[in-house]
Amino acid sequence: MLASSKSGSDIGSLLHGYQLCAATEGKSPNTLAIVTNSVTYLYDFLSSNGLSTDVTQIGAGEMRTFILYLQQKRCFSNHPYSKAQQRGLSGHTINTYMRSIRAFWSWLIEEEVIESNPFSKVKIPKPPKKIMATFSPHQIELLLGVMSSSVEGYRDAVIVLTLLDTGLRVNELINLKMENVWLANWLESHVAGFQFWGGVPARLMPDNLGSGVVKADLYDPKFNRGYEELAHHYGCLIDPARAGKPRGESRFPHYG
């Protein structure tokens, strides 16, 4: 447990000042808790090793010694309830500790408590890169194979292929607006769809999106030149849905 010291430049005294400042600046409780726990961890390490907890006496050497301690520490080695494990702290955990302590030391600089920041000389260990496992071609084939040949099945296939080909997150795809879609990508998606379905429909019935329809009109709509050329090349008709008439649209307007 970290206690305040009589010294005005001791970590214990200054941490309370940081907490007050962070709270008035609207920092989240989670951020405040992470910084507090990390600085407390450093304080306990320094105290238990007979090192000064006065921030004016803590330099790059002390920070590097603490990093080395974290890298050699076993998980839960000092935990009051959990048994110590053979594995060490993860690179992400060590990185989080040190970035939080650096934030506290940056605050000390801003408050003019110290003149130099030890982190100007200390490099925080980078966390290991997480390599996400991807679907194999066989898994993708199985995934698409369970989709029916119905309208809903085609819709689901387009959604899955879009996620696979673009790397979009699901929430990003859901919130995607047509004005965010470049015309080249819009046309390429048609070509990819024709190839996937193995044919070309007689009629294309899009919403009145800006990427394809320049001017919506029931009798004489104006299309983007690239969209017109694509339809002419594949020999199909562009028949946009009537504006304000959802019944005239496809069964899944937000995906077509």
The reported pTM is 0.52
Per-residue pLDDT tens over the stretch 43-59: 999 999 999 999 999 99
Per-residue pLDDT at 15: 93
Per-residue pLDDT at 210: 60
Strand partners, 10: 54
- Residue 237 has φ and ψ, to the nearest 5°, of -100, 135
- 187 Cβ neighbours under 8 A, 6+ residues apart: 226, 227, 230
Q: Are 40 and 15 in contact (CB under 8 A)?
A: yes
Per-residue pLDDT tens over the stretch 93-139: 999 999 999 999 999 999 999 999 999 999 999 988 877 788 888 99
Per-residue pLDDT at 209: 63
Residues of the chain short of pLDDT 70, as ranges, are 1-7, 76-85, 178-183, 207-212, 214, 216-218, 242-256
Domain ranges for the chain, please list them.
11-120, 199-256
Per-residue pLDDT at 246: 45
Per-residue pLDDT at 4: 45
Per-residue pLDDT at 158: 82
Q: Which of the four CATH numbers 3.30.70.3270, 1.10.150.130, 3.40.50.2000, 1.20.5.440 does domain 11-120 have?
A: 1.10.150.130
Chain centroid to Cα 127, Å, comes to 16
- What is the C-alpha separation between 38 and 132, in angstroms, rounded? 28
35, with CB counted inside 10 A (0-12, 13-18, 19+), is buried
